[in-house]
Structure 1
Amino acid sequence: MASMEGLVPITRHFLASYYEKYPFTPLSDDISRLSTEMLALANILIDELPPTPEESTLLDEANQPPPHKIDENMWKNRENVEEILFLLEKSRWPQEVQKESATGESELANILGKLEEKLKNTLKVLVDFQSKNSEHVFNTVMTYMPQDFRGTIIRQQRERSERNKQAEVDALVNSGGSIRDRYALLWKQQMERRRQLAQLGSATGVYKTLVKYLVGVPEVLLEFIQKINDDDGRDHLAILEQAVDVYASELERFLVFIREVFNNAPFFIPADVRKGDSYKEISVPAGKTYEVSLTVESINSYIAWDFSLVQGKMNMDIGFSVECESPGGGKTLILPHKRYESDQGNFCTCIAGDYKLIWDNTYSTFFKKVVRYKVDCIPPVVEPLQTAAEED
């Protein structure tokens, strides 16, 4: 468990003093100049060769105000870079350039290849940043979770959730979904991750933690979508090269800066942090049982336990079982009675209701059993199954 010493509530003054330690050097003046020149060239191309419906969609996207939230802004940058890389694919080059490229004598082909390589490298840096930052946030939250079976279950749930998310993306791609469709899904999944982290705070026996990375984007780094598919486009490559160079360098510089801000971001633990989360010890007299009840409000929650007998001369084993009573009064045996010296386990709930964990010493005539235990109900942090109506 991470130490809480020195942590303080976040206030406006505290945040201001924190961000003052991370000044960001203004963006290059080339961005404003190149943005203006690129926009002028794009308008000329649009007048001479009206865009297709797909290209019009990209142009509409580029003309939208940039997202001011850092997370959404990074996803939009990533989407735009992928769209540009799609347009730079060799199969979309002018036929003349493709033919010249085959002989290795085309200057235009060489330039387009270099632009593609630079943008691929930038995309890799951005993807790596998002992946590592997501892992960092999750690990920060987990630092304040009990370091026992519950943390293990939460990590397993997250791994399962991420596999399901990737399968959802793969299915969309395989069905012919566009880059824009894929990123709409990726952003939806990102919002789901935030909800999952928030849900952890409602777990009984789990320390409530609020983690906030509150950062602003100085301004849009650069937005451009350029189509080169006619002879006149060759004259504009110098501007395009500069734009890609500036975009790549400024974005990567910003990511280095914001990674440091993220890694040192302040957070606080609410005043109602629960304590006393250690194992409990109970004595079960001969011929008696001992029960622990947990109320489950959401399906796909996890009931988890860890117990062992406190060793003594006659402490051999004790019976253990789990049952559920639904709101309607019906009882269901979840874990059949069996005798253990110790056990650690969990299961995913299918219904809401009251769950009883029962230690049974009724078979003993003379000897009590001392049990050291910890139990918990962990709320769902994986996506609920959607019904057909919800999907529509």
Structure 2
Amino acid sequence: MKRIVSMLLALVMIGISSSAFAAPFKIGLITDTVTQGEEAYRTAEKVVAKYGSDVVIHRTFPDKASSEQETTISTIMSFAADPDVKVIVAAFAMEGTTAAYQKVREVRPDILLLGGAPTEDPAILGETSDLVVGPDFIGMGAEVAETAKKMGATTMVHYSFPRHMANPIYLARHDKMKERCEALGITFIDGTTPDPMAEAGVSATQQYILEDVPRKVKQYGKNTAFFSTNVGMHEALIKSIYNTGAIFPHPDTPSPFYCYPGALGIEVPADKIGNAEWMCEQISAKLAEKKMNGRMGVWMPPAMPLIIESLCEYGMRIASGNYTPDQYLQPEILNQVLKEYTNGRYSSSLYTGADIPNYYVYISETVIL
């Protein structure tokens, strides 16, 4: 926790030193809604406060991004219609982002296009973006299995549904997780849930999780670890794991603010929003009530705040420099920004080398609570 404190202090100092920044241009930032991804939304609010609402224009993806891609395209194109907008940041880069960026390229080839934590195929998104950054979802597969082993897991249940498993990144992560589990002697179980985007909606998915987790724990024992690919089921999943005493290595967006507060009934005061250290302490205290310390985890620093803040800072530095569009990819600047925002504790590497040379991924440190 001392390492976490020093890291967060560094983040605070970065924010203080940059708060007076005045830019002769604007950044268009699109994130989840507060209902779909509160952490991303609150981080966007922090970025707006840091640079100013006259510099950062914040909009949101539609709640049902996969079926409302025209709305996403329209929102992103509204950024491009403003001649002062020089940077667009999409995080998550949800369905519709690639199509929107293609249209932006047609009318504003000068705009720096940045994508964070893509849910679309990064190979396709990368062709229309200048830089895409995300957690190493594939590497996460092995990391989750290893963390589960440290927590004492003997079984791993991977919850998903066909639409997500059609995504090559999610599928590759699943395969890596299964492969590493088998190597570690952990029984790997595929759990298929209702699709939250289907007609029955998120509530049907959550109800399935609330009913199925106890069944799985009864069948395989409390040393069963769970992983899910979808935000809509995480609160129900954490709540069920907490009630059954099972294992949860971390969410697929591995932050202490990602569904933990709602699942564990933790009230977050206004002055604690975004305080990851405080949130980790509250989760640990809740786990202690049921003697469950050591059975849940998070990444530090949290994934989405790191991606959103560092991409916006990267955009500021590129747009403030004398770079032409063919020079927008500057890995050394990305590395410098990541070092500042993680206090030097990070890993960053090309995802598929020459295949997607502008897609960078990283893995943060897993903190067991």
When normalised by structure 2's length, the TM-score is 0.31
When normalised by structure 1's length, the TM-score is 0.30
Which is bigger in relative contact order (C-alpha 8 A, separation at least 6)?
Answer: 1
Larger radius of gyration: 1
